[in-house]
Structure 1
Amino acid sequence: MPITLVIHGGAGNITPAMMTKEDEQAYTEGLQAALDAGYAVLESNGSAMDAVVAAIKELENNPLFNAGKGAVFTKKGLNEMDAAVMDGKTLGAGAIAGVRNIKNPIVLAREVMEHSGHVFLSGNGAAEFALTRGVEQAPDDYFFNKLRYDQWVEIRDSDFYQLDHKADNLKGVPNPDHKFGTVGAVACDAEGNLAAGTSTGGMTNKRFGRIGDSPVIGAGTYANNSTCAISCTGH
Protein backbone atom coordinates (compact mmCIF):
# COMPACT_ATOMS: atom_id res chain seq x y z
CA MET A 1 0.00 0.00 0.00
CA PRO A 2 1.45 3.43 -0.93
CA ILE A 3 2.15 5.50 2.16
CA THR A 4 0.40 8.87 2.36
CA LEU A 5 0.47 11.86 4.69
CA VAL A 6 -1.63 15.01 4.34
CA ILE A 7 -1.48 17.95 6.75
CA HIS A 8 -3.20 21.30 7.20
CA GLY A 9 -2.37 24.45 9.13
CA GLY A 10 -5.91 25.82 9.20
CA ALA A 11 -8.62 26.72 6.74
CA GLY A 12 -9.39 30.09 5.20
CA ASN A 13 -8.91 32.19 2.11
CA ILE A 14 -5.25 33.17 2.41
CA THR A 15 -4.17 35.48 -0.42
CA PRO A 16 -0.63 36.69 -1.24
CA ALA A 17 -1.63 40.19 -0.11
CA MET A 18 -2.20 38.92 3.42
CA MET A 19 1.42 38.10 4.20
CA THR A 20 4.95 39.11 3.32
CA LYS A 21 7.34 36.89 1.40
CA GLU A 22 9.12 36.24 4.68
CA ASP A 23 5.88 35.15 6.34
CA GLU A 24 5.01 32.91 3.40
CA GLN A 25 8.42 31.27 3.62
CA ALA A 26 8.07 30.75 7.37
CA TYR A 27 4.68 29.06 6.98
CA THR A 28 5.94 26.93 4.11
CA GLU A 29 8.96 25.83 6.12
CA GLY A 30 6.78 25.05 9.13
CA LEU A 31 4.42 22.91 7.09
CA GLN A 32 7.32 21.18 5.35
CA ALA A 33 8.94 20.34 8.69
CA ALA A 34 5.71 18.71 9.81
CA LEU A 35 5.43 16.74 6.56
CA ASP A 36 9.03 15.61 6.87
CA ALA A 37 8.57 14.47 10.46
CA GLY A 38 5.45 12.47 9.73
CA TYR A 39 6.62 11.03 6.44
CA ALA A 40 9.89 9.84 7.99
CA VAL A 41 7.80 7.71 10.34
CA LEU A 42 5.90 6.13 7.45
CA GLU A 43 9.11 5.53 5.49
CA SER A 44 10.48 3.68 8.52
CA ASN A 45 7.47 1.35 8.53
CA GLY A 46 5.84 3.25 11.37
CA SER A 47 2.10 3.34 11.90
CA ALA A 48 -0.29 5.92 10.52
CA MET A 49 -1.01 7.02 14.10
CA ASP A 50 2.68 7.53 14.84
CA ALA A 51 3.00 9.63 11.69
CA VAL A 52 -0.03 11.78 12.49
CA VAL A 53 1.22 12.51 16.00
CA ALA A 54 4.76 13.27 14.79
CA ALA A 55 3.50 15.73 12.18
CA ILE A 56 1.11 17.50 14.54
CA LYS A 57 3.74 17.79 17.27
CA GLU A 58 5.88 19.79 14.83
CA LEU A 59 2.99 22.15 14.17
CA GLU A 60 2.16 22.46 17.88
CA ASN A 61 5.78 23.44 18.55
CA ASN A 62 5.62 26.20 15.94
CA PRO A 63 4.13 29.49 17.24
CA LEU A 64 2.86 30.38 13.76
CA PHE A 65 -0.02 27.94 14.17
CA ASN A 66 -2.98 28.06 16.54
CA ALA A 67 -2.13 24.89 18.44
CA GLY A 68 0.22 24.15 21.31
CA LYS A 69 2.80 26.93 21.58
CA GLY A 70 0.83 29.21 19.23
CA ALA A 71 -2.56 28.80 20.94
CA VAL A 72 -4.76 31.90 21.07
CA PHE A 73 -6.02 33.58 24.26
CA THR A 74 -9.44 33.01 25.82
CA LYS A 75 -11.70 35.72 27.23
CA LYS A 76 -9.91 35.22 30.56
CA GLY A 77 -6.51 35.68 28.95
CA LEU A 78 -5.57 32.00 29.14
CA ASN A 79 -4.45 29.41 26.61
CA GLU A 80 -6.88 26.48 26.54
CA MET A 81 -6.30 23.76 23.99
CA ASP A 82 -8.26 20.92 22.39
CA ALA A 83 -7.04 17.90 20.43
CA ALA A 84 -8.20 14.53 19.14
CA VAL A 85 -6.92 11.41 17.40
CA MET A 86 -8.66 8.44 15.81
CA ASP A 87 -7.28 5.10 14.66
CA GLY A 88 -8.91 3.85 11.46
CA LYS A 89 -7.99 0.21 12.10
CA THR A 90 -9.42 -0.17 15.60
CA LEU A 91 -11.85 2.78 15.53
CA GLY A 92 -10.32 3.77 18.84
CA ALA A 93 -10.31 7.48 19.57
CA GLY A 94 -9.05 9.91 22.17
CA ALA A 95 -9.85 13.57 22.75
CA ILE A 96 -9.08 16.32 25.24
CA ALA A 97 -10.54 19.80 25.68
CA GLY A 98 -9.81 22.89 27.74
CA VAL A 99 -6.32 21.79 28.76
CA ARG A 100 -3.60 24.19 29.84
CA ASN A 101 0.18 23.85 30.18
CA ILE A 102 0.33 20.72 28.02
CA LYS A 103 3.21 21.17 25.57
CA ASN A 104 1.75 18.80 22.97
CA PRO A 105 -2.00 18.28 23.36
CA ILE A 106 -2.00 15.71 20.55
CA VAL A 107 0.18 13.45 22.70
CA LEU A 108 -2.33 13.67 25.55
CA ALA A 109 -5.20 12.86 23.18
CA ARG A 110 -3.38 9.70 22.16
CA GLU A 111 -2.77 8.80 25.80
CA VAL A 112 -6.51 9.12 26.41
CA MET A 113 -7.20 6.75 23.53
CA GLU A 114 -4.65 4.15 24.59
CA HIS A 115 -4.59 4.29 28.39
CA SER A 116 -7.60 6.03 29.95
CA GLY A 117 -10.46 3.64 29.25
CA HIS A 118 -12.38 6.68 28.01
CA VAL A 119 -12.67 8.66 24.79
CA PHE A 120 -12.94 12.29 25.91
CA LEU A 121 -11.45 14.07 28.94
CA SER A 122 -11.62 17.79 29.65
CA GLY A 123 -10.28 20.47 31.97
CA ASN A 124 -8.96 19.37 35.36
CA GLY A 125 -9.72 15.73 34.67
CA ALA A 126 -7.57 15.78 31.56
CA ALA A 127 -4.84 17.62 33.48
CA GLU A 128 -4.81 15.03 36.26
CA PHE A 129 -4.65 12.22 33.74
CA ALA A 130 -1.74 13.94 31.98
CA LEU A 131 0.22 13.92 35.24
CA THR A 132 -0.39 10.20 35.77
CA ARG A 133 0.91 9.50 32.26
CA GLY A 134 3.95 11.76 32.50
CA VAL A 135 2.85 13.93 29.57
CA GLU A 136 5.25 16.85 29.13
CA GLN A 137 4.12 20.11 30.72
CA ALA A 138 5.10 23.69 29.87
CA PRO A 139 4.80 26.93 31.90
CA ASP A 140 2.44 29.76 30.99
CA ASP A 141 5.22 31.85 29.45
CA TYR A 142 5.99 29.08 26.96
CA PHE A 143 2.62 29.79 25.34
CA PHE A 144 2.85 33.59 25.46
CA ASN A 145 3.01 35.15 22.01
CA LYS A 146 2.85 38.93 21.63
CA LEU A 147 0.90 38.90 18.38
CA ARG A 148 -1.66 36.46 19.78
CA TYR A 149 -1.87 38.59 22.91
CA ASP A 150 -2.35 41.82 20.96
CA GLN A 151 -5.12 40.20 18.89
CA TRP A 152 -6.88 39.27 22.11
CA VAL A 153 -6.41 42.73 23.71
CA GLU A 154 -8.19 44.27 20.70
CA ILE A 155 -11.41 42.44 21.47
CA ARG A 156 -11.22 41.24 25.08
CA ASP A 157 -13.73 43.80 26.38
CA SER A 158 -16.29 42.91 23.73
CA ASP A 159 -18.51 39.91 23.12
CA PHE A 160 -16.72 39.23 19.86
CA TYR A 161 -14.53 36.24 19.20
CA GLN A 162 -12.14 35.61 16.35
CA LEU A 163 -12.17 32.38 14.35
CA ASP A 164 -8.67 31.20 13.57
CA HIS A 165 -9.57 30.70 9.91
CA LYS A 166 -11.30 34.06 9.47
CA ALA A 167 -9.42 36.09 6.89
CA ASP A 168 -10.66 39.49 8.02
CA ASN A 169 -10.31 41.28 11.31
CA LEU A 170 -13.30 42.67 13.18
CA LYS A 171 -13.35 45.87 11.13
CA GLY A 172 -13.56 43.93 7.89
CA VAL A 173 -10.05 44.89 6.80
CA PRO A 174 -7.63 42.12 5.80
CA ASN A 175 -5.11 41.64 8.59
CA PRO A 176 -1.64 40.79 7.22
CA ASP A 177 -0.47 39.71 10.67
CA HIS A 178 -3.23 37.17 11.20
CA LYS A 179 -2.02 33.66 11.97
CA PHE A 180 -3.58 30.47 10.70
CA GLY A 181 -4.70 28.21 12.34
CA THR A 182 -5.98 24.91 13.76
CA VAL A 183 -3.70 22.07 12.64
CA GLY A 184 -4.31 18.50 11.57
CA ALA A 185 -2.99 15.47 9.76
CA VAL A 186 -4.24 12.26 8.17
CA ALA A 187 -2.11 9.31 7.14
CA CYS A 188 -2.15 5.90 5.49
CA ASP A 189 0.67 3.53 6.41
CA ALA A 190 2.24 0.65 4.47
CA GLU A 191 -0.33 -1.79 5.88
CA GLY A 192 -3.20 0.37 4.63
CA ASN A 193 -4.24 1.59 8.05
CA LEU A 194 -5.61 5.12 8.38
CA ALA A 195 -5.33 7.64 11.22
CA ALA A 196 -6.36 11.24 11.81
CA GLY A 197 -5.57 13.94 14.33
CA THR A 198 -6.47 17.58 14.99
CA SER A 199 -5.13 20.13 17.48
CA THR A 200 -6.24 23.70 18.20
CA GLY A 201 -6.20 26.63 20.56
CA GLY A 202 -9.76 27.43 19.51
CA MET A 203 -11.08 30.95 18.99
CA THR A 204 -9.54 34.18 20.26
CA ASN A 205 -11.64 35.53 23.15
CA LYS A 206 -13.66 32.33 23.45
CA ARG A 207 -15.70 31.89 26.61
CA PHE A 208 -14.54 29.73 29.51
CA GLY A 209 -15.45 26.10 28.87
CA ARG A 210 -16.05 26.49 25.14
CA ILE A 211 -15.35 23.31 23.17
CA GLY A 212 -15.25 23.53 19.39
CA ASP A 213 -15.57 20.97 16.64
CA SER A 214 -11.90 19.98 16.41
CA PRO A 215 -11.76 17.46 19.29
CA VAL A 216 -15.22 16.05 18.64
CA ILE A 217 -14.92 12.61 17.08
CA GLY A 218 -16.94 12.54 13.87
CA ALA A 219 -17.00 16.33 13.61
CA GLY A 220 -13.41 17.60 13.54
CA THR A 221 -11.59 14.26 13.50
CA TYR A 222 -12.47 10.85 12.06
CA ALA A 223 -10.74 7.77 10.65
CA ASN A 224 -12.06 4.43 9.45
CA ASN A 225 -10.08 1.98 7.32
CA SER A 226 -13.18 1.13 5.32
CA THR A 227 -13.89 4.71 4.32
CA CYS A 228 -11.57 7.67 4.97
CA ALA A 229 -9.52 9.77 7.39
CA ILE A 230 -10.51 13.39 8.03
CA SER A 231 -9.17 16.37 9.97
CA CYS A 232 -10.95 19.67 9.59
CA THR A 233 -11.73 22.98 11.26
CA GLY A 234 -14.88 25.04 11.48
CA HIS A 235 -16.94 26.66 14.24
Structure 2
Amino acid sequence: MKHFSLSKAVFMAASLALLGLTAANAQEKFSPVIVIHGGTSGLDLTKEEFKIREEPMKKALLAGQAVLEKGGSAMDAVTAAIMVLEDDPNFNAGKGAVFTADGFNELDASIMDGSTKKAGAVAMARHIKNPILGARLVMDKTWHTLVAGEGADKLAKENGLEMVDQKYFFTQFRYDALQKA
Protein backbone atom coordinates (compact mmCIF):
# COMPACT_ATOMS: atom_id res chain seq x y z
CA MET A 1 0.00 0.00 0.00
CA LYS A 2 1.50 3.31 -1.09
CA HIS A 3 -0.02 5.56 1.57
CA PHE A 4 0.47 5.48 5.33
CA SER A 5 -2.92 7.17 5.50
CA LEU A 6 -4.72 9.48 3.10
CA SER A 7 -5.89 12.83 4.31
CA LYS A 8 -9.32 12.66 5.82
CA ALA A 9 -10.36 15.69 3.79
CA VAL A 10 -12.48 13.49 1.53
CA PHE A 11 -14.15 11.99 4.56
CA MET A 12 -14.60 15.36 6.20
CA ALA A 13 -15.99 16.96 3.06
CA ALA A 14 -18.44 14.11 2.62
CA SER A 15 -19.39 14.28 6.29
CA LEU A 16 -19.93 18.00 6.42
CA ALA A 17 -23.61 18.19 5.65
CA LEU A 18 -25.68 21.25 5.02
CA LEU A 19 -29.29 20.48 5.79
CA GLY A 20 -32.22 22.64 4.78
CA LEU A 21 -35.06 21.98 7.19
CA THR A 22 -38.07 22.26 4.92
CA ALA A 23 -41.47 23.14 6.26
CA ALA A 24 -44.62 21.21 5.44
CA ASN A 25 -46.12 24.42 4.14
CA ALA A 26 -44.00 25.84 1.31
CA GLN A 27 -44.78 29.38 2.47
CA GLU A 28 -43.23 28.84 5.91
CA LYS A 29 -39.67 29.98 6.39
CA PHE A 30 -36.96 27.41 6.89
CA SER A 31 -33.71 27.75 8.76
CA PRO A 32 -30.55 26.18 7.36
CA VAL A 33 -28.52 24.07 9.74
CA ILE A 34 -24.84 23.24 9.40
CA VAL A 35 -23.64 19.93 10.81
CA ILE A 36 -19.90 19.37 11.07
CA HIS A 37 -17.41 17.01 12.67
CA GLY A 38 -13.66 16.97 12.79
CA GLY A 39 -13.09 13.41 11.56
CA THR A 40 -13.09 10.05 13.29
CA SER A 41 -9.66 10.38 14.87
CA GLY A 42 -11.37 12.24 17.70
CA LEU A 43 -12.76 9.03 19.13
CA ASP A 44 -9.68 8.51 21.27
CA LEU A 45 -8.91 12.15 22.10
CA THR A 46 -8.25 13.25 25.66
CA LYS A 47 -10.38 16.07 27.04
CA GLU A 48 -7.47 18.44 26.49
CA GLU A 49 -7.01 17.34 22.88
CA PHE A 50 -10.74 17.68 22.25
CA LYS A 51 -10.71 21.19 23.69
CA ILE A 52 -7.95 22.19 21.24
CA ARG A 53 -10.15 21.08 18.32
CA GLU A 54 -13.38 22.50 19.69
CA GLU A 55 -12.57 26.16 18.98
CA PRO A 56 -11.62 25.72 15.30
CA MET A 57 -14.75 23.62 14.79
CA LYS A 58 -16.82 26.49 16.19
CA LYS A 59 -14.95 28.87 13.85
CA ALA A 60 -15.78 26.57 10.93
CA LEU A 61 -19.47 26.57 11.82
CA LEU A 62 -19.49 30.34 12.15
CA ALA A 63 -17.73 30.74 8.79
CA GLY A 64 -20.40 28.64 7.09
CA GLN A 65 -23.19 30.40 8.97
CA ALA A 66 -21.84 33.82 7.97
CA VAL A 67 -22.02 32.87 4.30
CA LEU A 68 -25.64 31.75 4.68
CA GLU A 69 -26.63 34.85 6.64
CA LYS A 70 -25.33 37.01 3.78
CA GLY A 71 -27.47 35.05 1.32
CA GLY A 72 -24.63 32.87 0.05
CA SER A 73 -25.13 29.42 -1.36
CA ALA A 74 -24.95 26.15 0.55
CA MET A 75 -21.91 25.22 -1.55
CA ASP A 76 -20.12 28.41 -0.54
CA ALA A 77 -21.02 27.84 3.12
CA VAL A 78 -19.67 24.28 3.05
CA THR A 79 -16.49 25.45 1.32
CA ALA A 80 -15.93 28.24 3.85
CA ALA A 81 -16.38 25.88 6.78
CA ILE A 82 -14.01 23.27 5.39
CA MET A 83 -11.33 25.87 4.63
CA VAL A 84 -11.22 26.80 8.32
CA LEU A 85 -10.45 23.17 9.19
CA GLU A 86 -7.94 22.84 6.34
CA ASP A 87 -6.05 25.86 7.68
CA ASP A 88 -5.86 24.51 11.24
CA PRO A 89 -2.90 22.20 12.02
CA ASN A 90 -4.95 20.23 14.58
CA PHE A 91 -6.87 18.54 11.77
CA ASN A 92 -5.47 16.53 8.89
CA ALA A 93 -7.43 18.02 6.04
CA GLY A 94 -4.75 20.52 5.00
CA LYS A 95 -2.04 21.95 7.23
CA GLY A 96 -1.26 19.00 9.48
CA ALA A 97 -2.01 16.44 6.79
CA VAL A 98 -0.95 12.85 7.37
CA PHE A 99 2.27 11.80 5.65
CA THR A 100 2.40 9.08 3.03
CA ALA A 101 4.79 6.18 3.62
CA ASP A 102 7.30 7.90 1.33
CA GLY A 103 7.27 11.11 3.40
CA PHE A 104 4.96 13.41 1.43
CA ASN A 105 1.71 15.06 2.39
CA GLU A 106 -0.92 14.20 -0.20
CA LEU A 107 -4.31 15.79 0.19
CA ASP A 108 -7.77 14.77 -0.93
CA ALA A 109 -11.07 16.63 -0.90
CA SER A 110 -14.47 16.11 -2.45
CA ILE A 111 -17.70 18.02 -2.65
CA MET A 112 -21.13 17.41 -4.13
CA ASP A 113 -24.02 19.70 -4.88
CA GLY A 114 -27.15 17.77 -3.96
CA SER A 115 -29.42 19.98 -6.04
CA THR A 116 -27.50 19.49 -9.30
CA LYS A 117 -25.88 16.10 -8.50
CA LYS A 118 -22.57 17.55 -9.68
CA ALA A 119 -19.46 16.47 -7.80
CA GLY A 120 -15.79 17.29 -7.81
CA ALA A 121 -12.74 15.89 -6.09
CA VAL A 122 -8.99 16.09 -5.95
CA ALA A 123 -6.74 13.32 -4.68
CA MET A 124 -3.03 13.03 -3.99
CA ALA A 125 -2.54 16.79 -4.38
CA ARG A 126 0.74 17.99 -2.90
CA HIS A 127 0.65 21.76 -3.25
CA ILE A 128 -2.96 23.04 -3.12
CA LYS A 129 -3.26 24.99 0.12
CA ASN A 130 -7.00 24.40 0.37
CA PRO A 131 -7.91 21.13 -1.35
CA ILE A 132 -11.63 21.86 -1.03
CA LEU A 133 -11.10 24.74 -3.48
CA GLY A 134 -9.50 22.22 -5.84
CA ALA A 135 -12.56 20.00 -5.52
CA ARG A 136 -14.85 22.98 -6.23
CA LEU A 137 -12.71 23.85 -9.25
CA VAL A 138 -13.06 20.33 -10.64
CA MET A 139 -16.82 20.39 -10.10
CA ASP A 140 -17.45 23.92 -11.36
CA LYS A 141 -14.97 24.29 -14.23
CA THR A 142 -14.28 20.83 -15.69
CA TRP A 143 -16.22 17.87 -16.99
CA HIS A 144 -14.24 15.59 -14.64
CA THR A 145 -15.36 14.30 -11.27
CA LEU A 146 -11.86 13.53 -9.95
CA VAL A 147 -8.43 14.88 -10.80
CA ALA A 148 -5.44 13.37 -9.01
CA GLY A 149 -1.75 13.87 -8.37
CA GLU A 150 0.25 16.28 -10.48
CA GLY A 151 -2.83 16.90 -12.63
CA ALA A 152 -4.72 18.26 -9.63
CA ASP A 153 -1.86 20.57 -8.69
CA LYS A 154 -1.44 21.74 -12.30
CA LEU A 155 -5.17 22.46 -12.70
CA ALA A 156 -5.23 24.39 -9.43
CA LYS A 157 -2.18 26.47 -10.31
CA GLU A 158 -3.48 27.26 -13.81
CA ASN A 159 -6.72 28.51 -12.24
CA GLY A 160 -5.10 30.74 -9.65
CA LEU A 161 -5.58 28.71 -6.48
CA GLU A 162 -3.06 29.33 -3.73
CA MET A 163 -0.20 26.86 -3.99
CA VAL A 164 2.21 26.07 -1.17
CA ASP A 165 5.44 24.18 -0.65
CA GLN A 166 5.23 20.78 1.05
CA LYS A 167 6.74 22.40 4.18
CA TYR A 168 3.45 24.22 4.74
CA PHE A 169 1.63 20.97 5.60
CA PHE A 170 4.29 19.74 8.04
CA THR A 171 3.49 19.34 11.72
CA GLN A 172 5.75 17.60 14.20
CA PHE A 173 2.82 15.52 15.46
CA ARG A 174 2.13 14.03 12.01
CA TYR A 175 5.84 13.55 11.32
CA ASP A 176 6.27 11.69 14.61
CA ALA A 177 3.29 9.49 13.69
CA LEU A 178 5.02 8.62 10.40
CA GLN A 179 8.24 7.74 12.20
CA LYS A 180 6.34 5.57 14.67
CA ALA A 181 4.53 3.75 11.86
Report TM bin, short chain.
Answer: 0.7 to 0.9
**Normalised by the size of structure 1, how large is the TM-score?**
0.62
In the alignment, structure 2 segments of 5+ residues that lack a partner are 1-29
1:27-106 equivalence runs, <5 A? 27-106=53-132
- Give the length in aligned residue pairs: 152
- 1:49 Cα shift? 0.2
Matched, 1:140 2:166: yes
**Normalised by the size of structure 2, how large is the TM-score?**
0.80
Matched, 1:19 2:46: yes
% same residue:
48
Q: Which amino acid aligns with 1:153?
A: Q
CA distance in 2, matches of 1:151, 1:5: 32
Matched, 1:2 2:2: no
1:112 match: secondary structure: helix
CA distance in 2, matches of 1:145, 1:107: 22
Q: Which amino acid aligns with 1:25?
A: K
**Which residue of 2 is the match for residue 158 of structure 1?**
none
* 1:126-167: CA deviation from partner (whole Å, max 9, x where unpaired): 111111111111112111100100010011xxxxxxxxxxxx
- 1:25 Cα shift? 2.2
- 1:19 Cα shift? 1.9
- 1:14 Cα shift? 2.5
- 1:103 Cα shift? 0.5
- After TM superposition, the runs of 4+ consecutive aligned structure 1 residues lying more than 4 A away are none
- 1:13 Cα shift? 6.4
* 1:206-233: CA deviation from partner (whole Å, max 9, x where unpaired): xxxxxxxxxxxxxxxxxxxxxxxxxxxx
Q: Which amino acid aligns with 2:50?
A: E
Q: Which amino acid aligns with 1:151?
A: A
In the alignment, structure 1 segments of 5+ residues that lack a partner are 156-235
Higher helix fraction (1 or 2): 2
CA contact (8 A) 2:86 2:95 kept: yes
- 1:45 Cα shift? 1.1
CA contact (8 A) 2:42 2:50 kept: no
**Which residue of 1 is the match for residue 148 of structure 2?**
122
2:35 match: secondary structure: strand
Structure having greater relative contact order (Cα 8 Å, sep ≥ 6)? 1
* 1:62-86: CA deviation from partner (whole Å, max 9, x where unpaired): 0100111010100000000111010
1:69 match: secondary structure: coil
Change (3 A) 1:71 1:38: same
CA distance in 1, matches of 2:113, 2:100: 30
CA contact (8 A) 2:113 2:119 kept: yes
- 1:118 Cα shift? 1.2
**Which residue of 1 is the match for residue 22 of structure 2?**
none
2:54 match: secondary structure: helix
